[in-house]
Amino acid sequence: MIRTERETFQLAEVFTISRGSRTEAQVLTVTVARDGVRGRGECVPYARYGETLASVEAQVAGLPEAISRAELQQALPAGAARNAVDCALWDIEARQAGRRVWEMAGLARPGPEITAFTLSLDTPEKMRAQAERHRHRPLLKVKLGTPDDMARLEAVRAGAPGARIIVDANEGWSAEIYADLAPHLQRLGVALVEQPLPAGEDEALCGLARPVPVCADESCHDRASLAGLAGNYDMVNIKLDKTGGLTEALALRAAARDAGFDIMVGCMVGSSLAMAPAVLVAQGAAVTDLDGPLLLAEDRAAPLQFDDLGVHPSDPALWG
């Protein structure tokens, strides 16, 4: 049996990026049940990629109930639907075998990874206040992509002078804007710029001096994306809702490293169930951005643990 369920998690506070604001995370949970054993996966359909809860439900509903992970890779394209089913299949396989997913995938025992904490887009004054509240966190992510980007970034740095900072322009810049801002980003100690240009305009980065490393997010989905990124980006952001699950995410990580890219592992705003498989991909990554549960007012039972060491691998009661 493959079952889907829509679930909603309230956010701790309004979360805003350049594309809009939200007060809740709407996710789709997939449960696979076989011979009395259940496995679960979670996805967050993303309108940027033409996905809705209904469209993802329809994709899952069309799958054979006995589908294997290998068959799934051909049955569905990379995206949210395949992600939730793939992770549910990993979960049930591990439970049936009495082993952990990391063992079955041939990975080393995972440990905690320091994760970014994302500051919501707001006025410079309010973003400084956010930064001050979270100045104890070692890594802050700043959402930009507006005409007032520098004022916001200056405010965040003033509020959290000791934190490492990465910024996400959400496709809101041009190559010229990046070039103009780069010296200021360096001055403020920014370690990374995520997806400054719209996906599809990556060639504008070719040959451009990148004193602050540039990471592909919307431009990188799965291994098929890599050929078009060479020479344009320094890093790729692996998100399971883009790769279509843990299976492709692990393959993309290996291929990206072989191609010379550094690795960032990110997420949509979802619960601990969505983050748990990504923690395995994040092992040894240059940047981990799995703060979804930290933005929620509520979470799953047996949630992921976050502390000074970072985000810890899941308890089997949650996943894997």
Catalytic residue annotation: 143, 239
CB atoms within 10 A of CB 47: 9
Spatial separation of the C-alpha atoms in residues 20 and 121, rounded to whole Å: 9
State the residue for tokens 């601990």.
Answer: 272
Residue type, 123: T
Dihedral pair phi/psi, residue 139, rounded to 5°: -140, 120
User: Which neighbouring-strand residues pair with 311?
Assistant: 113, 306
